[in-house]
Amino acid sequence: MSVTIYHNPACGTSRNTLAMIRASGEEPVIIEYLQTPPSKEQLSELLATMKIPVRDLLREKGTPFAELDLENPKWSDDQLFDFIVQHPILMNRPIVVSPRGAALCRPSELVLDLLENPVASFTKEDGEQITHVISQL
């Protein structure tokens, strides 16, 4: 199975998500999106796969969100994509893509539903214990 993570190594949620992927036995393709931002087309495809609007991808904390007045509804989706491409820190993270789908993995345990062999339990960097119940269909 091929897994890709749009990752920011400075983000604890992103680091936890990456660790959960690796604990499942996968070595993902890691895209450090601050160094290699996705194009508008890639962003559009990601959002379509995740079935979320572009505004749900925007990160406010630690970004120029307020300075750019991005809460203002005057901005079109196309314009918001332009802002994300120009300022990739605006992209919320981590995003994980796998054959099972794609998701903005906040909280990090959302990644478990995208993995072929998710771990049953995991301890996050802050000590929080995550238990994943694997459904038997």
Provide the pLDDT for residue 137: 41
pLDDT in tens, 111-124: 999 999 999 899 99
The residues carrying an active-site annotation are: 11
* Mean per-residue pLDDT of the chain: 94
Burial class from Cβ neighbours inside 10 Å (0-12, 13-18, 19+) for residue 46 reads buried
Fold category of 4-131 in CATH: Glutaredoxin (3.40.30)
For the segment 125-130, the average pLDDT, to the nearest whole number, is: 92
Q: For the chain, give every domain's residue range.
A: 4-131
- Tokens 């194009």 belong to residue: 39
